[in-house]
Amino acid sequence: MIHLDNDSIVLRLKQGDQSCLEDLVVAYKGYCVNGLKKKTRCQNEEAEDLFIDALLELRDKVLSGKLDHLINAKSYIFGICYNKWLSAQRVKNKMNSIDAENYYQQYLKDDMLFESDDVDYKMQLLNITNKALETIGEKCYKIIKYFYLEKKSMEDIAEIMGFASSDVAKTSKSRCFKKLVEKTKELEKQ
């Protein structure tokens, strides 16, 4: 039985430690999936899907700074699972169909800047960005991931990537992101 203490969960997620999510799967899958099945009478597959989405939401909350302290991780994760199930019921949207497109819509849905934008165009941009990401190289992809997704500081990025200083990391990040945006625009024109 894996024991996960609450503060180390937050710390590991903040550090972008993916193995923490794997440990959470092993430690809390039984509790959350059984609990959901009992409480909502949903099927195994749906419960498992909700559980994994709940873990991803937990990670997002930690990375965005909305959650920096956990007292009871197990109950908290189950709470997210159950809320996700309720939301799915409300919008009659089966959560087991969630994929990159759904996540993309979720990330953009509350953004005021996107109110009047064309949904089809945004979805097209998702595919284009994926293609562009494949062209910028592993190093650039890592820098972008560390900065925009994992929200690491330039000091941390410099250390991980072996740059001489945070200024070098900053310049590399700017260059890589510019390269990605330009490549995306280029693919869009094709």
Partner 1 sequence: MQEETHRALIDKYLTDSLTESEKDSFDLLLKDPEFKEAVLYEKRVVAAIKASANAKLKAHLKGISSNTPITENSNTNYIKKLWLSAASVLIIASIGYFFYTSNQPISNQFEEFYELYPAVTIQRGEGDEVNKALQLYSEEKYQEAANELTSLASADQPTYYLYLGNCYLQLGQSQNAIAAFETLIEVSNDSILTQHSQWYLALAYLQSNEPESLKALLHKIIDQQGMYTELASKLLNKID
Compute the distance between CA of residue 117 and CA of residue 132 in angstroms, rounded to an integer: 22
Q: Site size for partner 1, by CB under 8 A?
A: 70
Sequence-distant (≥ 6) Cβ neighbours of residue 12 within 8 angstroms: 19, 20
C-beta of 101 vs 159, nearer to partner 1: 101
> What are the tokens at 96?
């087991």
If you ran DSSP here, which 8-state letter would residue 146 be given?
I
From the CB of 100, what's the least distance to partner 1, in Å?
4
Compute the distance between CA of residue 167 and CA of residue 119 in angstroms, rounded to an integer: 37
Out of 165, 167, 181, 186, point to the residue binding partner 1 (CB under 8 A): 181
If you ran DSSP here, which 8-state letter would residue 8 be given?
H
Q: Is residue 71 close enough to count as binding partner 1 by CB under 8 A?
A: yes
From the CB of 93, what's the least distance to partner 1, in Å?
15
Phi-psi region of 41 (alpha: psi -120 to 50; beta: other; left: phi over 0): left
Q: Is residue 8 close enough to count as binding partner 1 by CB under 8 A?
A: yes
Residue pair 91/102 in contact (Cβ under 8 Å)? The answer is no
Out of 52, 88, 157, 158, point to the residue binding partner 1 (CB under 8 A): 52
Alpha-carbon dihedral angle through residues 64, 65, 70, 76, given to the nearest 10 degrees:
-40
Q: Is residue 142 close enough to count as binding partner 1 by CB under 8 A?
A: no
Q: Is residue 50 close enough to count as binding partner 1 by CB under 8 A?
A: no
What is the binding site for partner 1 (CB under 8 A)? 3, 5-8, 11, 18, 21-22, 25-26, 29-30, 33-34, 44, 48-49, 51-53, 55-56, 64-67, 69, 71-72, 74-76, 79-80, 82-83, 86, 90, 98-101, 103-104, 107-108, 111, 113-114, 117, 122, 125-126, 128-130, 133, 144-145, 147-149, 151, 174, 177, 180-181, 184-185
